[in-house]
Amino acid sequence: MALFIIILLSNAAYNRNHLVGYHRPKCQYNYEIKQLKACNQCGKCCLKYGQGALAATANDIEMWALFNPDIMQYVQNGKIWMDPKTGEQLQRCPFLVLEAESQKYTCSIYHDRPEDCRHYPTHIIEMVRDECEMIELVDLEAPKKAQIQLDSLMKDSRPAYAKA
């Protein structure tokens, strides 16, 4: 909260000074001090982990079998996102939906998604590898701090990353 207030005050001071002719000296980097943008639903994480890269726990599969036959039809021999007609691995999750008007992706089984999806992202390095658009330059400069923030953001979905 304090960081947010500092950013607001510094932006207000900059805007006020700028209006009266004061120009801030240019710095080497052109970024604001903030961390981890909100998810913009670019879908990169979901698209990357198609073609059998995800797994579901036995508990996930058991719950789908009991309560979600629409999901369960895409499970075969413990593997998820299998074509119910051909038995072949689908190239991407059948529940990933591209909203045409906004060009954002949504998950049509968000509350019943597999544990792999609930736990993602686990680590800042994983976000960099997957080209996650939530990551900021300052996160790379202070990865431990960014990991703590990520763990806090994900606290309702997964345990904190143990090695942070």
Q: Does residue 151 contact residue 164 with C-beta atoms inside 8 Å?
A: yes
Tens-digit pLDDT profile for residues 95-152: 999 999 999 999 999 999 999 999 999 999 999 988 999 888 888 888 999 999 899 9
Tens-digit pLDDT profile for residues 51-109: 888 999 999 999 999 999 999 999 999 999 999 999 999 999 999 999 999 999 999 99
CA distances from 63 to 59, 83, 103, 119, 142 (A): 6, 20, 31, 18, 40
* pTM of the full structure: 0.69
3 state SS of 107: strand
